[in-house]
Structure 1
Amino acid sequence: MLNFTMAMLPLLALIGLMLIFPKWQRRKKGAEQHKGLRRISLTTKTFRPGKGGQLLATDYYFDEEHFYEIQIDVKKSVPLSAITRVERDSIKVNNRSFWIVTYAADGQMKQARFRHNYSLFNTDFADFLDAVKRASPAARVRELNAFSL
């Protein structure tokens, strides 16, 4: 019985570290001043009808005030306060969910769909969800947990 307990101790310590480290890392990063944009997505191919129906590489970023959609030659910004909903889509690719950001722009509701880049050492996507909650308290923002990744 003692051998089993001794064998399980490192495993339990590792699991505990995995649960605590991302929050600790986010608190540490939050204390720093972030300069520039923080990427929250994996590169996604987006259909852009104005360019002859091409699929263009699209990346999504945020800072303390705006959410950005950046394609090769186009940078579109949306204030975080204009975001009304951030939710997980039911579609998964390579065991990673798509997320949908719904926002109001020019009197219309628009959506951005992307796969997040959250990992143990990169918590920018979780920080984005917190920034949306702060900027737009009425927005419906899905909680990020092990089951919604």
Structure 2
Amino acid sequence: MREKLRVAAYAVCVRDGRLLLARSPVPDGTFEWVLPGGGMEHGEDPYDTVVRELEEETGYRIEVTGLLGLDSFRQVLRGERLRAPVDHHGVRIVYEGRIAGGELRDEIGGSTDTAAWHDLADVPALTRVPLIDTALRLWRERPADGRVSATPGR
């Protein structure tokens, strides 16, 4: 089975009790909310990745204010476009960020279609990726080892 490693960096940006999220389409035509961020380019520093990705997806420039932790997961991917199953390993670096400039806008021609602020209390009702819950736990709990227990339902 082919192995694939993907390293990505994301930011938790909370301002006035609201969390900044981006919306991403899924193959069935629906949408899910995601943390702003994304995959590292070869040779890119994760810090630079999260700054670049957040600006691309939201229009904001951020100041990274801390490293919250890491999330790692594995899954076997099977799909119509895949010739054979792939053992996918994702490593996600989660930072905390503060908006330092820019204007909120939608991404054009990227992996997301809109960006918006959501009240923290409303986040559990959103259709969202599990990483949001993991990242919010990292943000709230600030574990010394930068890890929280696995998210159910992966």
Task: Specify which structure has the higher proportion of helix.
Answer: 1
Higher RCO by CA contacts (8 Å cutoff, separation 6 or greater): 2
Instruction: Say yes or no: TM over 0.5.
Output: no
User: Shorter-normalised TM-score: what interval?
Assistant: under 0.3
Task: Specify which structure has the higher proportion of strand.
Answer: 2
Normalised by the length of structure 2, the TM-score is: 0.25
Normalised by the length of structure 1, the TM-score is: 0.26
